[in-house]
Amino acid sequence: MQYRVIFTEDIRYCFYGRVMMKVIAVVQNKGGVGKTTVTRVLAEYFSRQGQRVLVLDLDAQCNLSRRFLTMEYDAADPDGVLPPLHPEFDISDDQSGWSGRSSSADIYFSGDVYPYPTQLDSLLALPGHGPRLREIELVRSDEVRDAVHNRLHLFLSLVDVQRSFDLVFIDTAPAKGPLTISAVRAATHLIIPTTLEPQPIEGLYGMLQLWRREQNSREADRPLQIAAIQPNLFRKGVALHEGLLDSLRDDQALASMLSPVILRQRIAFAESDHPGAQPKSLFDLSPKDPAHKEVLAFCEHIHERLIR
């Protein structure tokens, strides 16, 4: 896919036609439940299917960005993860006024946005920028916070974005802060990964509240669907896991949202998270490998939910 420049200032060119692009936000205010894993696996699956995919990292920790790009570090700030220089950046062109780095934070700061190419042809990434995303999370004024809440939806409504991508996957921080709310507001679908332990289950119910509130504030022609409540890191034989899974299955209100594919705790998932992993992708494991089969079943389930 050709890399493109998307101008956030062109918000006046919003897309008023039938919206085909799907925006999937992966949310859960507990960490370590598999948000980043689920986002990267789905982005990879759909781009291997030939769909034009954009991944957006809204977590200041930038874990998702690291999977797709070689991120850099600000020596003066231990949490300062920065995007690399963009491959299209011309260092000799000092008239451009561009720093050469682009990130998801630029969407909120009204900068121009330059998605990065990745190893996969039809997958572009807009990485996080640790310090700038943290700055957005800390906004206190109601007025600025409202602007942040709406900003991503406006950006993803741009005609250029709508024409460039079929799917956008958004990875979020383990928080219900302004950036996560902006992702929920921009989304057509939510995926809520959860482990089968008390705190993440509480987090799941909190996310469902956020979803209902958002549903109630939307126009009827822009529904927000739950593509999946996705159990992850399940261990068979662990009474806590089995008990909590049963209670999710018994909850009638959740029945239509609970994924039938349960992702187990498998070392292959964690190994594939390592930058030096061989093979690099779960999809390059043998078709008989249980982790490959499971992840494929999960992606196929989400695929079916998205085209419904």
**Residues 43-72, interacting with Mg ion (CB under 5 A):** 63
Smallest separation, CB 129 to Mg ion (Å): 16
Q: Which of 22, 35, 66, 101 touches Mg ion by CB under 5 A?
A: 35
Q: Find the binder of Mg ion among 8, 28, 36, 162 (CB under 5 A).
A: 36
Taking residues 116 to 155 in sequence order and writing x for each that binds ligand ADP by CB under 6 A, - otherwise, the string is ----------------------------------------
One residue of 21, 22, 27, 34 binding ligand ADP per CB under 6 A: 34
Tokens standing for residue 115? 């998605």
Q: Between residues 161 and 173, which has the closer beta carbon with respect to Mg ion?
A: 173
Nearest CB to ligand ADP, comparing residues 214 and 273: 273
Instruction: Check binding of 28 to Mg ion (CB under 5 A).
Output: no
Alpha helices in the chain (DSSP H): 35-48, 63-68, 105-108, 130-137, 142-156, 159-164, 178-186, 198-217, 239-250, 267-272, 290-307
Strand 123-126 vs strand 167-171: parallel, antiparallel, or unpaired? Answer: unpaired
Beta-ladder partners of 81: 73
Residues in region 229-268 near Mg ion by CB under 5 A: none
Interface positions, 158-217, toward ligand ADP (CB under 6 A):
174
The answer to whether 10 and 267 have CB atoms below 8 angstroms apart is no
Helix, coil or strand: residue 101: coil
Number of H helices, E strands in the chain: 11, 11
Per CB under 6 A, does 32 bind ligand ADP? yes
How far is 37 from 54, CA to CA, in rounded Å?
A: 16
Q: In residues, how long is the chain? A: 308
C-alpha gyration radius of the chain: 19
Nearer to ligand ADP, 64 or 152 (CB): 64
- Nearer to Mg ion by Cβ, of 166 and 177: the residue is 177
Residue 233 binding ligand ADP, by CB under 6 A:
yes
- Would you tell me how many other CB atoms lie within 10 Å of the CB of residue 221? 7
Task: Choose between 273 and 289: whose C-beta lies nearer to ligand ADP.
Answer: 273
In angstroms, the CA 211 to CA 221 distance is 16
Interface of this chain with ligand ADP, residues 62 to 101, rule: CB under 6 A: 63
Give the residues lining the site for ligand ADP (CB under 6 A).
31-37, 63, 174, 232-233, 263, 265-266, 269-270, 273
Give the residues lining the site for Mg ion (CB under 5 A).
35-36, 63
